[in-house]
Amino acid sequence: MKIETIVVGPLQVNCYIVYDEKCLDAVVVDPGDEPEKVLKLAKSRDFRISAIVCTHGHFDHTGGISALREKTGAKVLLHIDELPIYLQSASHGAIWGLNITQPPHPDQFVKEGDDIPAGSTVLKVMHTPGHSPGGICLATDSIVFTGDTVFAGSVGRTDFPGGSIEALKVSFKRILSLPPDTILYPGHGNWTTVADEWRQNFFVNEL
């Protein structure tokens, strides 16, 4: 498995392309904006994008989906509990003064334990509510894409509609129960590890 990171949009979202370097099958995680960047990289590397996965439905993580799906035909995957938020991507973006193209209806709903393949690589879905009700993380080998559940030194805010501090505590504990050397790729900011978060994340005090 290989990973390419593209930081997109005014809120600096980490969009990840996860791919099999042998067959070049790829999955895009959270294309929140600037789909042309994703498409340019995919074309230059001959990636075949089969799926677009949303860790959650907030507009800054979904704004590039429409164009990416149109150009690639990739299926859009989302947890069903996130659908109400996802369907308001454009209107929520407008509140922030941003012109967001409303993403298309998801092609498939994913749930806890589902597998999302990218060639020989498999991303395992972890339902991790708290920042939002249908938030998910994607785990493979010793790597987890955490969306806005866990950041380096922080966690996702819970004051948006559907957020829950109690649910976030459970999800956070679950992530920090993984092996210490597990690498965490968050929705914003730098990558980190479970061991680092035990040392530096203020939310550890909530456990």
**Interval 170-200: pLDDT, tens:** 999 999 999 999 999 999 999 999 999 999 9
Structural domains of the chain, count: 1
Q: Tell me: pLDDT of 207 over 90.
A: no
H-helix segments, 14-136: 35-45, 59-62, 65-72, 83-86, 89-95
Number of CB atoms found within 10 A of residue 165's CB = 13
For 121-175, what is each residue's pLDDT tens digit? Answer: 999 999 999 999 999 999 998 999 999 999 999 999 999 999 999 999 999 999 9
Q: What does the pLDDT look like over 39-69, one tens digit per residue?
A: 999 999 999 999 999 999 999 999 999 999 9
- Token match 């949009």: residue? 9
Q: How many other β-carbons are positioned within 10 Å of the β-carbon of residue 112?
A: 11
Which residues touch 117 (CB under 8 Å, ≥6 apart)? 25, 27, 50, 123
Q: Which domain holds residue 8?
A: 2-206
Q: Is 83's pLDDT higher than 90? A: yes
pLDDT at 96: 92
Report whether 55 contacts 147 (CB < 8 A).
yes
Q: Where are the beta strands (DSSP E) in 33-158?
A: 48-53, 75-79, 108-110, 115-118, 121-127, 136-140, 143-147, 150-151, 154-155
Quote the pLDDT of residue 141.
Answer: 86
Model confidence band, residue 9 (pLDDT cutoffs 50, 70, 90): very high
Closest CA to 112 of 123, 101, 104: 123
C-alpha 170 chain-centroid distance? 18
% of residues, the chain, pLDDT over 90? 99
Mean pLDDT of the chain: 97
pTM, full prediction = 0.97
21 pLDDT higher than 90: yes
| CB 158 within 8 Å of CB 131 | yes
Distances (CA, A) of 188 to 84, 145, 191: 23, 11, 9
CATH number of the domain where residue 77 is located? 3.60.15.10
